[in-house]
Amino acid sequence: AQSVTQPDIHITVSEGASLELRCNYSYGATPYLFWYVQSPGQGLQLLLKYFSGDTLVQGIKGFEAEFKRSQSSFNLRKPSVHWSDAAEYFCAVGTFGNEKLTFGTGTRLTIIP
């Protein structure tokens, strides 16, 4: 069965600093990988996804993620965070032909001035 691990429950970053959120997955075949963001009391918004091809994926709001098969990782990065980036971030894994997603436990991002 597939699984997703987000090792960091809570991360605090200064506004303007760089950000990296970690995500590790467990799956035998090539996974489909997603990052979603959830603002308080809201649903989830898709930031980016990886299915195949270029392992560096660009998303919305200046985010990017890199798929590293050797490390079973799909870390999310942003070079300079903004106060509006404060939210909960979820990594998820899916598989070809299976519409279900497995979510990580989430990482809460706090931005300090």
Partner 1 sequence: GAVVSQHPSWVICKSGTSVKIECRSLDFQATTMFWYRQFPKQSLMLMATSNEGSKATYEQGVEKDKFLINHASLTLSTLTVTSAHPEDSSFYICSATPPTGQETQYFGPGTRLLVL
User: What residues make contact with partner 1 under the rule CB under 8 A?
Assistant: 32, 34, 36, 41-46, 49, 51, 90, 94-96, 98-101, 103-106, 108
Closest to partner 1 by CB, 12 or 14: 12
Closest to partner 1 by CB, 64 or 103: 103
Question: Among 82, 78, 75, which Cα is nearest to 110's?
Answer: 82
Give the shortest CB-16-to-partner 1 separation in angstroms: 27
Work out the burial of residue 60: count CB atoms within 10 Å of its CB; fewer than 13 is exposed, 13-18 middle, 19 or more buried. Answer: exposed
Give the shortest CB-86-to-partner 1 separation in angstroms: 15
Give the shortest CB-80-to-partner 1 separation in angstroms: 26
Report the b/e string of 82-97 with b at 16+ CB within 10 A.
eeebbbbbbbbbbbee
The size of the chain, in residues, is 113
